[in-house]
Amino acid sequence: MEALTTRRKVLEQKRMTLLERIYLPAIASGMGITLRHFFKKKATINFPEQQRPVPRVYRGLHILNRDEQGRERCTACGLCAVACPAEAITMEAAERKPGEENLYREEKYAAKYEINMLRCIFCGFCEDACPKDAIYLETTFAPANYNRNNFIYTKDMLLLGAKREEIKPPLTQ
Binding site for other proteins (CB under 8 A): 22, 24, 27, 30-31, 33-35, 37-38, 40-44, 46
Shortest spacing between CB 118 and other proteins, in angstroms: 25
**Is 100 within 8 Å of 85 (Cβ atoms)?**
no
Please list the alpha-helical segments (H only) found in 22-124. Answer: 24-38, 79-83
Shortest spacing between CB 47 and other proteins, in angstroms: 11
Nearer to other proteins, 32 or 70 (CB): 32
Mapped onto helix, strand or coil, the DSSP state of residue 92 is: strand
| Kind of pairing between the strands at 152-153 and 135-137 | unpaired
- CA torsion 128-131-132-138 (nearest 10°) is 0
Shortest spacing between CB 53 and other proteins, in angstroms: 19
Nearer to other proteins, 15 or 41 (CB): 41
Shortest spacing between CB 35 and other proteins, in angstroms: 7
Shortest spacing between CB 36 and other proteins, in angstroms: 9
CA gap 103, 139 in Å, rounded: 26
Residue 70 DSSP label: S
Nearer to other proteins, 29 or 173 (CB): 29
Nearer to other proteins, 38 or 146 (CB): 38
Nearer to other proteins, 10 or 24 (CB): 24
CA gap 27, 13 in Å, rounded: 22
CA gap 133, 74 in Å, rounded: 8
